[in-house]
Amino acid sequence: MRDTEIWKGADEYIMSIKQGRANRFTTFLSDSASVELSIRAIDSDSAYYLIIYASRSEQRTFNLDKKSHENSAL
């Protein structure tokens, strides 16, 4: 998504990410894993890449266990 009002210039793009007016990410999926690659901003001119890896089978196990614990807490 790209903001059409302010922070349009290439030199202002990091600020638009910091302000939440733009974002840049992609997600890769396979049968066994999901990987998200995104750009986050620390301040107006400092950014970093973030990689989030999740094992799909471990994620399913975690969600089932979480649901079980939530149901037993009720």
Percent of the chain with pLDDT over 90: 51
List the helix and strand counts (H, then E) for the chain: 2, 3
Alpha carbons 52 and 25: distance in angstroms, whole number: 11
Q: Of residues 64 and 44, which shows the higher confidence score?
A: 64
Contacting residues for 67 by C-beta, under 8 A, at least 6 apart: none
The model carries a pTM of: 0.65
- Express each pLDDT in 43-60 by its tens digit: 888 899 999 999 999 999
6-10, 12-16, 66-70: range with lowest mean pLDDT:
6-10
What's the start-to-end Cα distance of the chain, in Å?
41
Residue 30 has pLDDT above 90, yes or no: yes
